[in-house]
Every structure is written in structure tokens, then in C-alpha cells.
Amino acid sequence: MSSAPHIPVLLEEVLTALAPAPGECHVDATFGAGGYTRAILATGAAVIAFDRDPDAIANGRALEEEAALTLVPATFSALESELAARDAVPVDGVTMDIGVSSMQLDQAQRGFSFQSDGPLDMRMSQEGMSAADFLNEAEEEQIADVLYRYGEEPKSRRIARAVVAARPLTTTAQFANVVRKALGHRPHDKKDPATRAFQAVRIHINGELDELTQGLEAAERVLKPGGRLAIVTFHSLEDRIVKRFLRDRSGAAPGGSRHMPVTAAEREPTFEITARAIRAGEAELAANPRARSATLRTARRTGAAPWRLEA
């Protein structure tokens, strides 16, 4: 096995939570560069790994040929149906590393970052609506709503007006400069305001938060009693979804979830939270600055039936 080109965040903590063992089957719902998968395979467990990015799947094919690995080119919202099609339910563990991968950020042609100029793309699956399509075709109000909702940008309306006035936008540098100009950014300012705008557009066109919610619900259905769940997030929007899901499913939320109401008889806890939120230590931060914003939440599946969602 070749070494992964990027450092997986909180690797030791994820492995501790998953506790993979020989003969077990684990799901890596976000294969990426394969860091978690390689570590799980090294314990003797088999891995079924998902990724919507065709580049990630292509890069993993060599590893698939030499290890107990099955690669699935799909989103993790399709986790349950894809596992069922392979007669692989239930599984012993599920892990997810949410958001954009280092590989995607490092490739200027993918358009995820403004650090290097490239086409305004941002599509994880390399299919469907691109960031340029959205920014050039959406109504000003919709752009402002996306920036506010997914980027928590307080001046979203100002940026949206500037985007519409600057159309057409075709490159990451153009979009970043429009945002900076709209907000009066100065080169010595500590944080580039384009960061929030890029995050918002990326989350929107890839449906990332809906994917996360559906992926968590699928994990609940495919994990066996005693199965382990480990989720790594990188910003507050993602972490709130995971925290709320585990709080509700562990019975810690009075009255159940306001987003997924269930009857009292159906509200038996399906997860036991196994640790407080975990963040990277100083040694990892020194070696891997990307870990600074990472949060790991872990849980163990109980024997209760999955919650049924209201129609």
C-alpha cells in the first residue's frame, strides 16, 4: 500500500472510537485520499469506502486491488441502499470526514479555493450545477440567502449585489475579488472575507448539509448493535447537525428532535455518546494546521430500532 498524500485529521482518535478488528466490516463514507481507510485496513478489518468524487475513486483503485477494500462511487446519503445491494448490512463501524478534502482544495482546476486562480467550479461530483452557474444565473436574493445561511455572512446582501453587478464570473480570483471589494478588505486583514463566501457557495451547490443529515440517518440504519460511529466536522454548521443528531438519538434532548418528531413509543435511544467532542492536540496542530477547526464526535449504536421519520 502506498502512503496517503494527505494527513488524515484526528486519525488516532478516530481509530480509538471505531476500534476496528480483524473480520469486521467498516464504512469510510468519505474516502478522499484514503487515510482513514488505510488505517482501518491495517487492523485486519474490511472497508467499504464511498466518495462522490470520481478522482478519489480512480486514485483508490490500486489500493482496492491489493486490500479488503470495496470502493463505491456514490454520496453517503446512498449509504444504506449501496450497502444493501452488496449484502453488507449491518456493519461494525461508520466514519465520515465532512466537507471539502485537501486534495480538492489543492487542485486549482477544481475551483474550491481562492489561493490559486482556477475555474469557478466547486463540484465534488464533477457533475451538475457549478459555482459559476449558480453565481451567474441565480437571483440576487437567492445568492444573499445562500451566503447568509451557509457562510454566516452578515453582509450577504452587499456581496450579492456586487456579484450581480460583476457578472459574468468565471474564475475563483474574480469571485474572491468581488467579495473583497464589496467588504472593503485590506491585504493585511487577518482573515480573508472570501473564505465565508466560498464555503457558502460550495455547501449550496453540493447539498452538503442535507447529505450530512441523510448520511447520519443512514448510519443509524446500517450499524449493528454495538457498532461505532465517528464523525469529523470542520465548521459550526456541520458540527451543530452532528451534535443535535447524537443528542436526540441518545435521549439527551427533552421531547426529542423538533426536526424529526417521533412518538414516545418510538423514542428509545439508538446511540450512546462515547466521548465529549474531541479536538486536535498541539502536536497534531503543529504537524497538520488543517486540524485546527476539526471536531470529532463519537457514539455507539444501541439495540433499539432506528427512528421512523414522520411523513
Torsion-angle region of residue 139: left (phi > 0), alpha (psi -120 to 50) or beta? beta
Whether residue 4 has pLDDT greater than 50: no
Burial class (CB in 10 A: 0-12, 13-18, 19+), 14: buried
What's the whole-number mean pLDDT along residues 138-154? 97
Average pLDDT score over the chain: 91
Q: Please provide the distance, in angstroms rounded to a whole number, between the alpha carbons at the two ends of the chain.
A: 46
Estimate to the nearest angstrom the gap between the alpha carbon of 210 and the chain centroid.
10
Q: Dmax over Cα atoms in the chain, in whole Å? A: 59
The listed CATH number (1.25.40.340, 3.40.1190.20, 3.40.190.80, 1.10.150.170) that belongs to domain 111-206: 1.10.150.170
Whether residue 1 has pLDDT greater than 50: no
- Residue 272 sits at φ, ψ, to 5 deg, of -115, 120
Grid cell listed for 194 = 472570501
Domain ranges of the chain: 11-103+209-301, 111-206
Of residues 170 and 111, more confidence is placed in 170
Bridge partners of 182?
none
Instruction: Say what the pLDDT of residue 131 is.
Output: 96
Instruction: Say what the pLDDT of residue 101 is.
Output: 66
Closest CA to 34 of 17, 51, 21, 22: 51
Distance CA 229, CA 123 (A): 27
Instruction: Say what the pLDDT of residue 253 is.
Output: 72
Q: Quote the pTM value.
A: 0.90
What's the whole-number mean pLDDT along residues 216-223? 98
Q: Are strands 295-301 and 271-273 parallel, antiparallel or unpaired?
A: antiparallel
CB atoms closer than 10 angstroms to residue 53:
21
What's the whole-number mean pLDDT along residues 133-156? 97
Q: How confident is the model at residue 109 (pLDDT cuts 50, 70, 90)?
A: confident
Q: Report whether 156 contacts 147 (CB < 8 A).
A: yes
**Do 11-103+209-301 and 111-206 fold alike per CATH?**
no
Closest CA to 72 of 90, 89, 86: 86
- Residue 230 sits at φ, ψ, to 5 deg, of -135, 120
Q: How confident is the model at residue 102 (pLDDT cuts 50, 70, 90)?
A: low
Instruction: Say what the pLDDT of residue 103 is.
Output: 66
Grid cell listed for 260 = 424529526
- pLDDT > 70: what percent of the chain? 91
Distance CA 206, CA 98 (A): 12
**In the CATH hierarchy, which fold is given to the domain comprising 11-103+209-301?**
Rossmann fold (3.40.50)
Whether residue 38 has pLDDT greater than 70: yes
Whether residue 310 has pLDDT greater than 60: no
255-278 confidence digits (pLDDT tens): 545 555 554 445 899 999 999 999
